């Protein structure tokens, strides 16, 4: 996206670096700090490496707003956050320190529940009601989509409950992986059924 | 139309804006001008018209922030002369801070601005003129004079 220079006078400025990594890091950190202080860092994000791949974590000043698997395409997820939450989005790991630490502990088998402020603004209505009840499904156990629909106040809305789980903006932390089909088969998952199996196996072993 | 996360704007245009700030202000004040530019841009970003020319928008903000820096430093320079010397931060001996900036510093401010906006940011002279005031022809002349002076003091000086 660098503009083509309109001239052959580039030699004059060859000494002025186009890519200056030290300056880039220094200025980016300074921008993050200034934006945070000014209250305009609407969405902070970072990535973490886990046994189920690289996860994108994003937080507003209200709390964790999005957890995304690499298969969801992190660039696309960031664009969606820019559209639906705010375009003032910066890579700013400090705000995600607690979620990153708790997820590390979870994947190490040392944490069975998350103690984090959550921002559910990406979910509305019945889907949000479903998600808020998912945390009641204990670590290492499962529930059926029908049971989740009933807990959210509409026992007939089994398909809608499944959609709520499939579109969960906070996977792992809001444990939609613990929701399975009534016949005992595993059901779908945003991160793929292999990831769902991995998470259930992790919880069964811990 | 979907809008880029601001992080992508920083990644795409941060380097060019830094070169512009450095060419106008030199190594020390450039960091401050860049920081003020991107903080102001981030503040206004939700209201930016989608599909607009982001680079020209950023250079316009940087132009104002660079002038703020120059005013602040001239205010500082008059009443007191015992401010501590600030480290240049990324001082590679013999890097651009030494030779190129020494040459740029001999230009008039308007020449440095015209050169930076046209040759580093790629703005056409009509847009350079909007920033500097005056006609596109005057902007073209300021840039040409600046380049000629740089060739003489910097390139030929280095060749000696």
pLDDT tens digits for A76-86? 999 999 999 99
pLDDT tens digits for A131-154? 999 999 999 999 999 999 999 999
What residues in chain A have their Cβ under 8 A from chain B's Cβ atoms?
1-7, 9-13, 15-20, 22-24, 26-28, 30-31, 34-35, 38, 40, 43, 45, 78-79, 81-83, 86-91
Q: Is the pLDDT of residue B2 over 80?
A: no
Separation of alpha carbons A46 and A58, rounded Å: 7
pLDDT of residue B92: 52
Q: Is the pLDDT of residue B130 over 70?
A: yes
Stretch B85-91: mean pLDDT: 46
Q: Work out the pLDDT band at B52, boundaries 50, 70, 90.
A: confident
pLDDT of residue A72: 95
Q: Is the pLDDT of residue A10 over 70?
A: no
Chain B window 92-111: which residues touch A at a Cβ cutoff of 8 Å?
95-96, 99-100
Stretch A154-168: mean pLDDT: 94
Cβ–Cβ of A87/B3 closer than 8 Å?
yes
- DSSP H or E stretch at residue B21: helix B6-25
User: What interface predicted TM-score (ipTM) does this complex get?
Assistant: 0.90
Stretch A56-63: mean pLDDT: 98
Alpha-helix residue ranges (DSSP H) falling in A16-108:
21-38, 74-84, 97-107
Q: Which residue of A has its CA nearest to B43?
A: A40
Q: How many CB atoms lie within 10 A of CB B15?
A: 17
What single DSSP character describes residue A63? Answer: E
Q: Work out the pLDDT band at B57, boundaries 50, 70, 90.
A: very high
User: Contact at 8 Å (CB) between A92 and A45?
Assistant: yes
Average pLDDT, chain B: 87
B31 close to A (CB below 8 A): yes
Global confidence as pTM: 0.89
- Residues β-bridged to residue A83: none
Q: Work out the pLDDT band at B157, boundaries 50, 70, 90.
A: low
pLDDT tens digits for B13-43? 999 999 999 999 998 899 999 999 999 999 9
pLDDT tens digits for A104-113? 999 999 999 9
Q: How many CB atoms lie within 10 A of CB A178?
A: 22
Q: Say how many CA atoms lie within 13 Å of B107 toward its Cβ.
A: 29
In chain A, the percentage of residues whose pLDDT exceeds 70 is: 95
Cβ–Cβ of A12/B46 closer than 8 Å?
no
Q: Work out the pLDDT band at A7, boundaries 50, 70, 90.
A: very low
pLDDT of residue A1: 41
Closest partner CB to A89 (pick from B6, B16, B22): B6
- The distance of Cα B58 from the centroid of its chain, to the nearest Å, equals 11
User: Contact at 8 Å (CB) between B15 and B51?
Assistant: no
Q: Is the pLDDT of residue B10 over 80?
A: yes
Q: Work out the pLDDT band at A5, boundaries 50, 70, 90.
A: very low
Catalytic residue among A55, A176, A179, A180: A176
Taking one residue from A and the other from B, the number of pairs with CB-CB distance under 8 angstroms is 123
A176 counts as catalytic: yes
Q: Is the pLDDT of residue B104 over 50?
A: yes
Most confident option among A54-58, A134-138, B75-79: A54-58
Q: Is the pLDDT of residue B140 over 60?
A: yes
Cβ–Cβ of A18/B15 closer than 8 Å?
yes
pLDDT of residue B21: 97
Residues of B with Cβ-Cβ distance to A16 under 8 angstroms? 19, 22-23, 96, 100, 120
């Amino acid at each position: 996206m660098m503009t083509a220079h309109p001239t052959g006078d580039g030699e004059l400025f060859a000494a002025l670096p186009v890519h200056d990594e030290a300056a880039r890091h220094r200025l980016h950190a300074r921008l993050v700090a200034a934006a945070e202080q000014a209250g305009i860092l609407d969405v902070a994000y970072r990535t973490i490496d886990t046994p189920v791949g690289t996860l994108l974590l994003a937080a507003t000043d209200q709390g964790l707003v999005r957890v995304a698997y690499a298969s969801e395409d992190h660039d696309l997820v960031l664009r969606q956050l820019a559209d639906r939450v705010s375009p003032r989005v910066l890579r700013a790991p400090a705000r995600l320190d607690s979620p990153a630490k708790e997820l590390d502990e979870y994947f190490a088998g040392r944490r069975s529940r998350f103690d984090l402020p959550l921002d559910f603004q990406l979910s509305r209505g019945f889907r949000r009601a479903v998600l808020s009840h998912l945390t009641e499904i204990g670590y290492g156990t499962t529930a059926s989509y029908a049971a989740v629909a009933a807990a959210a106040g509409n026992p007939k809305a089994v398909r809608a409950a499944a959609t709520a789980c499939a579109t969960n903006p906070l996977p792992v932390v809001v444990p939609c992986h613990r929701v399975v089909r009534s016949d005992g088969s595993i059901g779908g998952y945003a991160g793929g059924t292999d990831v769902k199996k991995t998470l259930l196996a992790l919880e069964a072993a811990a | 139309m979907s809008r880029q996360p601001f992080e992508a704007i920083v990644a795409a245009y941060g380097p060019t804006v830094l070169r512009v700030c450095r060419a106008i202000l030199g190594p020390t004040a450039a960091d401050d001008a860049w920081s003020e530019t991107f903080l102001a841009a981030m503040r206004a970003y939700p209201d930016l018209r989608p599909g607009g020319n982001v680079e020209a928008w950023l250079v316009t903000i940087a132009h104002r922030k660079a002038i703020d820096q120059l005013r602040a430093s001239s205010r500082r320079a008059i009443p007191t002369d015992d401010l501590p010397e600030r480290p240049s931060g990324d001082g590679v001996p013999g890097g651009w801070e030494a030779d190129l900036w020494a040459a740029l510093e001999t230009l008039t401010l308007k020449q440095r601005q015209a050169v930076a906006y046209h040759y580093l940011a790629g703005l056409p002279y009509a847009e350079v003129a909007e920033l500097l005031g005056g006609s596109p022809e005057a902007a073209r002349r300021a840039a040409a004079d600046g380049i000629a002076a740089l060739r003489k003091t910097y390139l030929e000086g280095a060749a000696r």
